[in-house]
């Protein structure tokens, strides 16, 4: 059995007390055996007590690993949230809290939607921290995403976080740039990072798959590798997105996804996958990615 507890971590940035949920298998207590840690990040409109990735938490517990669900300033509707320096440090502080009390080996990071945004942001800002990471249906460019949702709730939330809309001031534009993963992802070129999205997202969901494909391209460009072309992105971005001339890698079968794959490309340790689905993550694929990188070193 795994024991879930609410912990309070003192922010090393502003001294405030920040909550997280921590799930620790019973056999880990009192043991010095190094155990992998999975850090799972909540979605855009959620917080510590909102949408929890129960399927992933259960799989982590079955593996006998530690599961951390930090708050990182909660919903993205205040200046302290949405990838701020405070929110970034909350995640690092929570991990350090765990490492002070348990013997942690691998450090894995994942999240869906807004959690995917933070996964990519943290991979780019602190690449040395992660054994591997997987971002599901994440936002990589806040200003571009704002344009899609400027008249809806997500547009309003971005204005609440940034103090206004893109173009209102240099300060706002600089803040949105700093909090967008695209700005930092080139630094993640050596992190085993999987970027994944369902091909219907942006049509039945809120985050167009271009956000994931552009994120992959930012890293591939930094590595000097071949990009997903603009024509291919356009083809995949249609409601029934598929490639007119898929490559062999685009037609691979992956039991961990258990879905048809329409595009898959690799750049060093970085992978992008567009699968049959919408605005969602797949817990079995997350665990398969982590298990594949269990032996990777982490600073």
What's the average model confidence in pLDDT over 23-48?
A: 92
Spatial CB neighbours of 250, under 8 Å, sequence gap ≥ 6? 243, 261, 262, 263, 264, 265
Q: ∠ at Cα 52 (14, 156), nearest 5°? A: 65
Q: Does the pLDDT at position 80 exceed 80?
A: yes
Average pLDDT, the chain: 96
Residue 18 sits in a domain whose CATH number is 3.40.50.1820
| pTM score | 0.97
| The pLDDT value given to residue 51 | 81
| 120: three-class secondary structure by DSSP | helix
Q: Say if residue 134 is in the same domain as residue 227.
A: yes
Q: Does the pLDDT at position 272 exceed 60?
A: yes
Structural domain of residue 164, as residue ranges?
149-179
Query: Cα-flanking dihedrals φ and ψ of residue 218, to 5°?
Result: -60, -40
Q: What burial class does residue 209 get, using C-beta atoms within 10 Å of its C-beta: 0-12 exposed, 13-18 middle, 19+ buried? A: buried
Which residue in 213, 194, 207 sits closest to 256, CA to CA?
A: 194
Whether 297 maps to a domain, the answer reads no
| The pLDDT value given to residue 297 | 55
Q: Does the pLDDT at position 226 exceed 70?
A: yes
Whether 227 maps to a domain, the answer reads yes
Radius of gyration of the chain (CA): 18
Q: Say if residue 91 is in the same domain as residue 68.
A: yes
Whether 42 maps to a domain, the answer reads yes
Q: Say if residue 157 is in the same domain as residue 259.
A: no
| The pLDDT value given to residue 296 | 63
For the beta carbon of residue 78, count every other beta carbon within 10 angstroms. Answer: 15
């Amino acid at each position: 059995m795994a024991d879930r507890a609410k912990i309070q971590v003192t922010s090393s940035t502003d001294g405030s007390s920040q909550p997280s949920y921590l799930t620790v298998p019973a056999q880990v207590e009192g043991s010095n055996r190094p155990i992998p840690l999975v850090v799972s990040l909540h979605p855009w409109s959620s917080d510590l007590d909102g949408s929890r990735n129960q399927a992933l938490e259960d799989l982590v517990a079955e593996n006998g690993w530690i599961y951390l669900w930090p708050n990182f300033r909660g919903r993205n509707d205040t200046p302290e949230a949405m990838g701020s320096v405070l929110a970034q440090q909350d995640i690092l502080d929570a991990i350090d809290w765990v490492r002070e009390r348990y013997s942690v080996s691998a450090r894995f990071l994942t999240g869906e939607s807004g959690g995917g945004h933070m996964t990519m942001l943290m991979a780019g800002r602190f690449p040395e921290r992660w054994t591997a990471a997987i971002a599901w249906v994440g936002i990589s460019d806040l200003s571009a995403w704002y344009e899609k949702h400027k008249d809806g709730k997500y547009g309003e939330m971005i204005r609440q976080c940034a103090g206004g809309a893109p173009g209102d001031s240099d300060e706002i534009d600089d803040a949105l740039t700093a909090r967008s993963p695209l700005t930092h992802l080139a630094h993640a070129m050596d992190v085993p990072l999987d970027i994944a999205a369902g091909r219907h997202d942006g049509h039945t969901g809120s985050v167009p798959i271009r956000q994931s494909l552009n994120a992959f391209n930012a890293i591939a460009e930094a590595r000097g590798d071949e990009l997903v072309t603009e024509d291919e992105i356009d083809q995949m971005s249609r409601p029934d997105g598929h490639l007119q001339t898929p490559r062999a890698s685009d037609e691979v079968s992956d039991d961990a996804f258990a879905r048809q794959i329409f595009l898959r490309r690799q750049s060093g340790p970085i992978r992008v996958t567009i699968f049959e689905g919408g605005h969602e993550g797949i817990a079995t694929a997350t665990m398969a990615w982590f298990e594949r990188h269990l032996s990777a070193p982490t600073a």
